[in-house]
Chains A and B, each alone.
Chain A
Amino acid sequence: QVQLQESGPGLVKPSQTLSLMCTVSGGSISSGDYYWSWIRQPPGKGLEWIGHIDYNGGTSYNPSLKSRLTISVDTSNNHFSLNLNSVTAADMAVYFCARDSLTRDAFDIWGQGTVVTVSS
């Protein structure tokens, strides 16, 4: 079955760029039936949708992050990535990647999440 796995540095310095990758296994990222999404959860808080990308590279971003955010897709290697620049302590969170099923219109498969700390 399809699985998602986040990877990337767990520690980022303030003002630098957070870069994470989500590797999709057990299925192709090139299916037109899904958006590939990033969602985050600050410590002890709720869930915030960051944005998504389709296999063609079409994106939608949360306006609150849009000016600092880039999501990209690599269909050859079956992964998608997040870059968030100029990070601050407010960007500290568990970052999840998730599959947004267009048939269910819901996040039906999630990665386990990766903790990102912002500190010098």
Chain B
Amino acid sequence: DIQMTQSPSSLSASVGDRVTITCRASQSINRNLNWYQQKPGKAPKLLIFAAFSLQSGAPSRFSGSGYGTDFTLTISSLQPEDFATYYCQQSYSTPRTFGQGTKLDMK
């Protein structure tokens, strides 16, 4: 199985901050990397697919980058509705695997 490791596991930030979350795969996954946002009691929502493509309806302040084993999710200017948990997920092979999550809360 491909292991996905996110850092940090938790992060405190303020509205307007630029925030970066990283995800590392245990082997190369090309650009087969997706990012999701999950709020308490809700299903995850797809934000970014194929490493850097913005899902329809996702705000443009979210962006993704990376290739191979190292990937980044950036929120350019944090909004109040962005406080949530973020997960990366590889779609290079089965079993599909997720990172452990990064909880973003208000400083």
Contacts and interface: CB of A to CB of B under 8 A. Distances in A.
State the main secondary structure of chain B at its contact with A. Answer: loop
B95 A63 contact: yes
B46 A46 contact: no
Given A46-B100, A46-B101, A111 B43 contact: yes
B97 interface: yes
A105 B32 contact: yes
Interface string B12-34: 00000000000000000000101
Interface residues of B, number: 24
Given A47-B87, A62-B95, A107 B34 contact: yes
Interface of A: 37, 46-49, 60, 62-64, 96, 98, 100, 104-108, 110-113
Give the top 10 A-B pairs by smallest Cβ distance, nearest first.
A110-B43, A106-B49, A49-B96, A105-B91, A106-B34, A47-B98, A104-B49, A62-B95, A60-B94, A46-B100
